Amino acid sequence: MTATRIIAIRHGETAWNVDTRLQGHLDVALNAHGQWQAQRAGQALADEDIAAIYSSDLSRAHSTAQAIADHNKSDSSRQVRPHTGLRERGFGIFEGQTYAQISQDWPEESRRWRQRDPHFAPQGGETLTQLRERIHHTVNILAEQHIGEQIVLVAHGGVMDALYRLATGQDIESPRTWDLGNAAINRLLWTRDGLTLVGWSDTRHLDEAALDEASA
């Protein structure tokens, strides 16, 4: 079987994650804890045989990917390759707003968003259907270039959600029952027939926080 192994990682934490503020395509940097998470992910993957590291071009993802590249011992993975196809879902007018603000200012739009209406897009943003198609297309292009190898994709929560649904056959509208933790390690297998889930939400590299980070 011709396949590409994929390690998919959501970026480390940002201040806007903590504030439940939608980031979308806005470029928000990692906070101190997010930088620590990125370093831990890099340490956890240091010995992995990685052919290439691809990242969303947004800094929170790119910084996480760079930490992975800096720790990895594979010569071919030193350079992070940015790709706009790995960006978070575009949230248009929702971007920069907290969940509470969205609910208050756009109650009907908020309802459709929270109920995962596949055809709803905030003004200037993307629908879930458009996001899924974008991620599917991007992964196919990238994975096709690395058959028989392993690659890393560093992106965003919405991208991780789309990957999980593609790999498990979950409908876009289905309520989420899986984790999308910052800097968690997720593993998938790609073939020309599609994605298969190998492992999801491995956070063992982050569990030692209490031992070596009194306050992250």
Catalytically annotated residue among 11, 25, 146, 156? 11
Q: Which of 13, 83, 88, 205 is catalytic?
A: 88
Interval 149-194: pLDDT, tens: 999 999 999 999 999 999 999 999 999 999 999 999 999 999 999 9
pLDDT at 212 over 70: no
pTM score above 0.85: yes
Conformation bin of residue 44: beta by default, left when phi > 0, alpha when psi is -120 to 50: alpha
Please confirm, yes or no, whether 11 is among the known catalytic residues. Answer: yes
The CATH number corresponding to 4-211 among 3.40.50.1240, 3.40.50.300, 3.40.190.80, 3.40.50.410 equals 3.40.50.1240
In angstroms, rounded to a whole number, what is the distance separating the alpha carbons of residues 118 and 168? 18
pLDDT at res. 75: 73
Please give the Cα distance from 141 to 136 (Å, whole number): 9
Contacting residues for 131 by C-beta, under 8 A, at least 6 apart: 89, 158, 159, 162
| Confidence at residue 184, expressed as pLDDT on a 0 to 100 scale | 98
Query: Active site includes 146?
Result: no
**pLDDT tens track for 189-202:** 999 999 999 999 99
Domain chopping of the chain, boundaries: 4-211
Query: What is the tens place of the pLDDT at every residue in 81-126?
Result: 999 999 999 999 999 999 999 999 999 999 999 999 999 999 999 9
